[in-house]
Structure 1
């Protein structure tokens, strides 16, 4: 086995979720325990250390079995201030921003490009809009019923009642069914791709600077820049900032690899106004030394299955050579990652399926998030050769 890893850095950015470092690492601890049982390894995790600005949570993870041991410095980039700030915006303004976004995606043709890339993702994008239509229909029904009764002042009373019903449904069922969350996600995506989120841009730049500094400071064998869901777009941005901060980033000892899991980066990259984002990704292509592995899954509707994001964004491809394709796209089967009972329980829960990329498997499989992050085999070797887990024997030896 080549490319044995004894020390690794993982920098992780998740989706558009209000998750604290404590909650993220609390879940990570539980999921690692599940992974340990599958592979027969032991893991110790340090207490969570939060940066002074609250933007980065860190733990040190030591994983060992048989004749190997790997230390992982795991950093989680915290987005909860950005997300919670959006959630705190008055509901009428959130609705307006969403409707402007939707009109933008239709007028620019981006909605149709998303459908062409993945019709299932296109339907996922339409879900909040469809539910708004349902809520509006309910409000209209109540308002018209009052008007038809011919009560004094029925017209203004019906209009007011209709609005109350609409916003009442949006505030209650909209929150319970993740509709307002997805509205804010899409509004954020539009503002971000158009360069109208200076708060996010500044934080992503600081994340890139941190990666560049840590790559010089510590003697790593491998550096993984991992993004899940919307984080699949944001981690490409972060990687671009890191490369701009240190042009030698991928030319030192550590192999640098971007890993995108269930990525929705094309919702950014396919918009005509996302030129700055595409140029950032092009710098990663042109670097020639940074690897990129993209994990996709048919069961997950919230990703672009069987697509090449570089090709769909019409970027210049990396020249053929000794490096991996950029990106190296691998499809996974969640049925093969999970026991039958677990798979049957989650397969109709779209959001739960979408998070399985970063949850613990219940069966041995070539893709295992915790062996990617904590095991002794590099992501480059694992992805290229379809190494099951971390290439371990039954006794946990390499």
Structure 2
């Protein structure tokens, strides 16, 4: 694996000054329950963080949902004694799009999975995925292999039913072929329905639909998602423009994306910068954070030219700081991935300014007991990016999004963290 941490050469040093007010736009991954899951996760894990490190109980405002269902908002009050900034938190939702994917015919989803998987195999993309992270390569092929196993099981069950009911066997009932074949298939499909709960616990449909979505979007076949990206950019710009001169200025605007939402955050950031030429040029920092990103699943596809162009623009832009946090222990990201190198981006004569690549160092921030318990639970490990640390560490989701340090300073000088809650509080037991 290539070295994980990377800092672009000649990167400007951190902007001085503490963050007193921050606006966070958070984009979840491919999840049909985004509007309920992430509020609950945020409240639970921030409360655990406070308890674990001896901090005051967090004052989290009530959640409000925009009438169109696209934005869920709340606030977190400042804690001056601990250096915590006042934070407005907006979750940009696309779980309705995911829910529609889950609601389509299972036969259609299975057919799309076969087409998408065969396409990346024949195009040689699966080899590139495996080279970047063999674990994620296994995650991609897992639903395809399991689908083949389910098809084989259905065929065997249908054959047994035909053998016992059809003609030509001494112990059979002599039913005609036109009756035994459909009945056998129904029994075989009924077996799949009977183990539906088991398939859900194994994340079969989640991973199947997730991979199909990434493949479809890479082919340019998801206009519903492309429209949502523009709606998200509209909201970010409107939210910032709505602030009045009487309100305290925002020190940092932070766009955070996790998992598939990391790709979304990248595209929204590119749209926002293109439409607001002043953002990131004044006292307000513009920060992009991608956590456990699966972006190569789309960006490596030949037809994803617009996405690669947007990534190239961000990689050379000095109007934002982009930090990509990765974790070798996470099965569903690409540790060591660097878009400038691995996407063969053409920046012309523009110097590389982004992204800063950092390891979340899960082994350092998770206790040994927790690590042993979750190391073989891919989804639990994948969500560690959003959860409270067991131990102090350079990566801390809540110190990053609620603390007084600007993102660039936090990444370039992780040992400083003046007044940051998770780095200044007394050490606590996990």
Shared fold per TM-score greater than 0.5 = yes
Deviation (angstroms), 1:45 = 0.9
Equivalent residue, structure 2, for 1:380: 408
Q: CA shift at 1:332, angstroms? A: 2.3
Distance 1:318 1:124, change over 3 A: farther
Which position in structure 2 is the counterpart of 1:270? 300
**1:11-48 CA-partner distances (Å, limit 9, x unpaired):** 11111001243442122111001111244333211100
Question: Given that residues 138 and 166 in structure 1 are in contact (C-alpha distance below 8 angstroms), is that contact kept between their aligned partners in structure 2?
Answer: no
Q: Distance in 2 between matches of 1:311 and 1:155?
A: 59
- The answer to whether 1:34 aligns with 2:36 is no
Work out whether 1:15 is the aligned partner of 2:29. yes
CA distance in 1, matches of 2:349, 2:356: 14
2:144 corresponds to 1:116: no
Distance 1:286 1:325 in 2: 5
Aligned residues of 2:157 and 2:187 also touching (Cα < 8 A): no
SS for the counterpart of 1:45 is coil
Please list the CA deviations of residues 314-367 of structure 1 after superposition, one character each: whole Å capped at 9, or x if unmatched. 11359787xx85111111222211222222221111110000100111211110
State the alpha-carbon separation in 1 of the partners of residues 414 and 347 from structure 2. Answer: 24
| RMSD across aligned positions (CA) | 2.4
Q: Distance in 2 between matches of 1:318 and 1:338?
A: 42
Relative to structure 1, the CA distance from residue 167 to residue 244 in structure 2 (aligned partners, 3 Å threshold; closer, same or farther) is farther
1:211 matches 2:258 = no
User: 1:155 and 1:179, CA in 2 relative to 1: closer, same or farther beyond 3 A?
Assistant: farther
Distance, in Å, in 2 between the alignment partners of 1:309 and 1:259 is 14
Give the Å deviation of 1:52. Answer: 1.7
Q: Is the 8 A contact 1:257 1:291 kept in 2?
A: yes
Per-residue deviation at 1:380? 0.9
Larger Rg: 2
- Sort the Cα spacing of 1:26 and 1:67 in 2 relative to 1 into closer, same or farther, 3 A: closer
Q: How does 1:246-257 map to 2 (within 5 A)?
A: 246-257=276-287
Question: Structure 1, unaligned stretches of length 5 or more?
Answer: none
1:280-321 deviations in Å (ceiling 9; x for gaps): 212222332211101111111111011212321111359787
Alignment correspondent of 2:251:
221
Q: Tell me the distance in 1 between the aligned counterparts of 2:137 and 2:182.
A: 33
Is the Cα–Cα contact under 8 Å of residues 120 and 301 in structure 1 kept in the other structure? Answer: yes
Question: Which of 346, 360, 382 in structure 1 is aligned with 2:374?
Answer: 346
8 Å CA contact 1:236–1:281 kept in 2: the answer is yes
Q: Which has the higher contact order (CA 8 A, sep 6+)?
A: 2
Q: Deviations over 1:44-99 (max 9, x none)?
A: 11100111211000111124252634111111011221111111111111111222
More strand by share: 1
Q: Which aligned segments of 4 or more residues in structure 1 are displaced greater than 6 angstroms?
A: 318-321
Tell me: CA distance 1:117–1:20, structure 2 relative to 1, closer, same or farther (3 Å): closer
Q: Deviations over 1:139-167 (max 9, x none)?
A: 22223334455333475525652464256
Query: Could you tell me the TM-score, scaled by structure 1's length?
Result: 0.91
Match of 1:66 in 2: 81
